[in-house]
Amino acid sequence: MELNDTNMQALAGYLQKTFCPDVGERRAAEKFLESVEGHQNYPVLLLHLVDKADADMTIRVAAAITFKNYIKRNWRIVEDEPNKVSEPDRDIVKKEIVGLMLRMPEQIQRQLSDAITIIGREDFPAKWPGLVDEMVKKFQSGEFHVINGVLRTAHSIFKRYRHEFKSNELWTEIKYVLESFAAPLMELFKITMDLTNKCASDPVNLKIVLSSLTLIAKIFYSLNFQDLPEFFEDNMQTWMTGFHTLLKLDNKLLVTDDEGEAGPLELIKSQICDNVALYAQKYDEEFQPYLPQFVDAIWHLLITTGQQVKYDLLVSNAIGFLASVCERPHYKHLFEDAATMSSICEKVIIPNMEFRDSDQELFEDDPEEYIRRDLEGSDIDTRRRAACDLVRGLCKFFEAPVTQIFSAYVVAMLAEHAKNPAQNWRKKDAAIYLVTSLASKAQTAKLGSTQASELVNLTDFFTSHIATELQAANVNEHPVLRADAIKYVTTFRTHLSHDHLKACLPLLVNHLSAESGVVHTYAAHCLERLFTTKVNGKPVITKADVEPLAVVLLTNLFNAFTLPGSQENEYVMKTVLRTFSLLQESSIPFLPSLLPKLMEKLAAVAKNPSKPHFNHYLFETLGLATRITCKANPADVTSFEEAFFPPFQEMLQQDVQEFIPYVFQIMSLLLEIRVDGIPESYMALFPHLLMPVLWERSGNIPPLVRLLQAYLQKGAQAIAAAEKIPSILGVFQKLIASKANDHEGFYLLDSLIEHMPEASLSTYMKQIFLLLFQRLQSSKTTKFIKSFLVFMCLFSIKYSATSLVQMVDGIQPKMFGMVLEKLFLQDVQKVSGHTERKICAVGMTKLLTDCPAMLGEYQAHWTPLLQALIGLFELPEDDSVPDDEHFIEIEDTPGYQTAYSKLVFSGKNDHDPLNGAVAEPKIFLAQNLHKLSATCTGKIPGMISSGLDAKAAQYLQGYLQAANVALQ
C-alpha cells in the first residue's frame, strides 16, 4: 500500500462508509479495512489522514480511532506468530506520533495519546528510549495545549506503576523515568503554581492551569506508588506546600453551575486527597511533619462542602484520607476524644450516608448504574462507601466507643422513621446502612460478611427492622428500603439462621416481580448467593427448601426479563442458572416451556451481543439444561440438537465472534453425549471446522480442539473415510508450532492415537515424530516436554513399546537412548494431572516389561527408568520451571480477539484413554514385572538389587506384596 493521495482518498472513502446507516455497506467497509490492516504503510497512511488539515473533521477523528484500534490489535509482538506491523512502520509511527498528537485538537489528541500509551506499554523504555526526553522538551513550549497533551500521555503511560507487581525490571524502569522526568515535572509544578496566582482573575486560563496541575498530581501519585523515591523525599517540602495551598484554594470564578459534574477545583482537590492519603498510609514516618495541616484542611473541606453530586469524588477521597489516617497506630491519638468521635459521626459519616435526591434519581432512572456502584463496588467511589470505610477504620482501635456512639444515632434515626414511615423512610435507610457498616468487619463476594462485630446483634435487627420490610405485601412500596433489606440478607447470610433464611425465600421470590429494577435485581442476586453459600461445608439453602417454590420461582425469574430495563439482566440469568443447578432433575418438567424462551432470548442477543456476563450465563444455562435432561435420558439429545442447530448455524454464518466459542462448546457437549456415532448434520459441518480463519482467533482454539476430539471419539472411521486426516494434522502442525497452544495440539494428537485405526495413521506417523523433535530442538519448554512424554507413553500403550522405540530409532539410530536419558529420566516427575501421570506410569511399565530392546541395547537405562517410575508414584510432583523460560498465556494475546470463556456446566468429563483397563498402576507394574521375570529367571531381581536405591526397592516390594506376586 503506497503512500500517495489516491490511497489516502480511498481510505477516507471507506472510513466515511463506516458511518453508513445501511448495515450491508457499513459491514463491507469494515471488512475491507480489516483486510488491508496487514499491508505495509497502512498505519502511516492513517496518521497522514489524521494530519490532513483540509479533510473533513469526522473522517480525521475516525482515522484516529481506527489507528488506535489497529495499534491495540496488532502492536504487541507475540512469540511464534508473525509480526503484524512491519519494522519500518513501527519506526515511522514512533517518530511521528508524539509531535502529531500534540498539534491536534483535543478530540484527536486523546485517541493518539491512547495509542502512544499502548505502544509505550510494549516498547517503553527498551525500544523507545527517546520518548521521555521528547516529552520533557515540550514542557519548554509554554503552550498549555501542548503541555497538557504531554502530561495526559505521561499519566496514561505511568499509571500502570500503580498496579504492577514489584520486580527488578519495574524498579529499573521507574528509576529511568525519575532520572529524566522527576526534576522537569517539579519545575513545571512550580511554574504552574505561580500561574494560579497570575491567572486568578482569568477564568479561562485558570481552568487550563488547574487541569495541568491535576495531571501533574496524578503523575505524582503514579511515580510515588511503588516506593518513596529519593527525589520526592528530598523535595517533599515543595510538593506538600503546593498541595496544601491548592487544597485551600477558593476562587469564586472556578465554581461551576453544573451540580452533577466535578469542576476543575473539585478535581485537583480530589487528587490531592488521594496523594496525601497514599503518603499517610505508606510513608507515614516521612510524612508525619505535614500530617496535622492536611488533617485540618481536609476536615474543613468536609464540613463546608455541599451534598451536590459534583462534590462526590472530592468528599469520598477526603473521607478516604481520614480513613487511612485513623487506621495507623501513629495517628490514633487524633481520634481518641469522644467529642471528636461524635463530631465525625454527626458532621461527616451521617450526612454522607443519607440517601440524597440524586441517589433516588439514579435508583429510579438508571438502576444498572446504581447496582454497579452499590452492589458491585465499581471504580466510582461513592460517598456512602467512603463513609462506611471510615466507620470500619475507626472500629479498628475504638470499636466499643464507636459502636456506642453510632448506635445512639441508629436508635434516633429509627425512632424518627417510626413517627412517620412514609415521610421519613430515608432515616431508616441511613440506619440500615450504618448498622451494616458497624457490623460487617470483613466481607467477600463469595460469603458476604465473613467477620461480624460482636457488639451488634444482627438477628435482633433482622427480626425487628429487616423482616418487616420484606413481609409487607406491596413489593412496589418503599423500593429503597426493600433493596436495603434484601442487601442486608445478602450481606449477613452466613450469620443468620437456616430458619430465617428459609423464611426469606418466598419473600425474595415475590420481590422478583417488583417494578423497580434495583429491587428485582437485588432479589435475584440474593437468591443466587443463598443457593451457592456453604457454612462449615453445608449449604445454607438446600434443594428441599427450594422445590416447593420452584413453579413460582421460575415463573417470576422469566417474567423479570419482561420488566423495563431487565431484558438482558445478568443477575436474573445467573439465578436461572443456579436454580437449574440446585434443582437438577427436578427442573426437567419445566424445560419444555422454558427452553423455547431461552432460545428466543438467544436469537435476540445474537443480533447485537452487548452484555457478556448475561450471554455467558445464558449459554451456561443451555449447557446445563442439556446435561441434566440427557443424564436422565440420553436419547433426548436429538431434541436439543433440533432446537440449537438452526440458531448456531446462523451465528456461524453471520460470524458472531463473541458467541462462536460458546457454540463449539455446546456442540462438543451434544456430540459427547451421543451414543450412536456422528449424524450427517455434524459431518456436513466438519470441513468448515478445519478452515484456517477459525483457528486464527485464539478464543476459538480450546473449544474447537475439544469439538474435533469429540468428532474423533464418535466417528474416527467416518473421518478417515472422508480423507480428513491430513487436514486435522495440518491443524496439529499449526498448534504445535506455538508455545501458547502446543498443549492443544497434543490433545488433538492424543485423540488421533486413541481413536483412529493404526492403519489410517501409519503413513503420517514418522512425519509427526519429526515435527515434534524439530520443535523440541528449536524451542524446548517444560509444558511441551510434559505433553510429549504423555504422548509417547500413550503411543506405547496403544501401539506397543517396541513400536515407539523403532519409530524414534528410525529417525536416527540409537536416538531412543537420548529420549530416555534427556526426557523420561530428567522430566517425567514434572508431568501433572492424575490421568496424565497414570498414562505415563502405564506407558513406562510397557517399556520396562514389554520391550526387548530395553533388556538389550538399552539395558543400561532399564533400572534408572524403573527408579524414575517409582519416583512418579511416590515423590511429589516437580512443578519447577527454568528461570529463563517464558510462557505466553493464552489470555495475553493482544487486541480485540474474543477471549475463550469456558462453560463450567458444559465442561468436558474426565476421560481415561485406558478405559479402565488399568485400575491401579502400581499393581499393574508389579504384575508385569512378575510376568517378565518368569521369562528370564534371576535377571530382573539381579538388576533391581544392583541398580535401584534402597528406598525405591522398599516401595517396589510393597507393590509386589499388594499384587500378591514375587519376582523370579
Q: Does the residue 190 lie in any domain?
A: no
Do 238 and 231 touch, CB atoms closer than 8 A?
no
Per-residue pLDDT, 378: 54
Q: Give the three-state DSSP class for 723.
A: coil
Per-residue pLDDT, 576: 97
384-398 burial, b at 16+ Cβ within 10 Å, e below that, comes to bbbbbbbbbbbbebb
What domain count does the chain have?
Answer: 2
Nearest to 438 by CA among 455, 423, 426: 455
User: Phi first, then psi: what are they for 707, rounded to 5°?
Assistant: -65, -40
Q: Is the peptide bond before 852 cis (omega within 30 degrees of 0)?
A: no
Do 792 and 804 touch, CB atoms closer than 8 A?
yes
Q: Does the residue 520 lie in any domain?
A: yes
Q: Does the residue 529 lie in any domain?
A: yes
Per-residue pLDDT, 890: 29
Q: How far apart are CA 590 and CA 745, in angstroms?
A: 41
Left, alpha or beta for 111 (phi > 0: left; psi -120 to 50: alpha)?
alpha
Q: How far apart are CA 377 and CA 596, in angstroms?
A: 35
End position of a domain, from candidates 61, 90, 123: 123
Q: Does the residue 435 lie in any domain?
A: yes
Q: Which three cell numbers stand for residue 869?
A: 517410575
Q: How many CB atoms lie within 10 A of CB 907?
A: 14
Per-residue pLDDT, 884: 45
Q: Does the residue 706 lie in any domain?
A: no
Q: Does the residue 550 lie in any domain?
A: yes
User: Which H or E element spans position 17?
Assistant: helix 5-17
Q: How far apart are CA 764 and CA 729, in angstroms?
A: 9
Per-residue pLDDT, 895: 31
Q: How far apart are CA 118 and CA 932, in angstroms?
A: 63
End position of a domain, from candidates 69, 95, 123: 123
End position of a domain, from candidates 566, 600, 630: 566
Per-residue pLDDT, 507: 97
Spell out, as residue ranges, where the chain has pLDDT lower than 70: 80, 377-381, 441-453, 455, 879-900
Q: How many CB atoms lie within 10 A of CB 260?
A: 11
Q: Does the residue 68 lie in any domain?
A: yes
Do 345 and 395 touch, CB atoms closer than 8 A?
no
Segments of 55-198 assigned E as strands: none
Residues of the domain holding 431 = 399-566
Residue 56 makes CB contacts below 8 A (sequence gap 6+) with 12
Furthest C-alpha separation in the chain: 106
Q: Where are the alpha helices (DSSP H) in 333-419?
A: 338-344, 350-353, 357-365, 367-374, 383-419
Do 147 and 103 touch, CB atoms closer than 8 A?
no
Please state the pTM of the whole predicted model: 0.83
Residue 130 makes CB contacts below 8 A (sequence gap 6+) with none
Count Cβ atoms within 10 A of the Cβ of residue 165 and give its class: 0-12 exposed, 13-18 middle, 19 or more buried: exposed
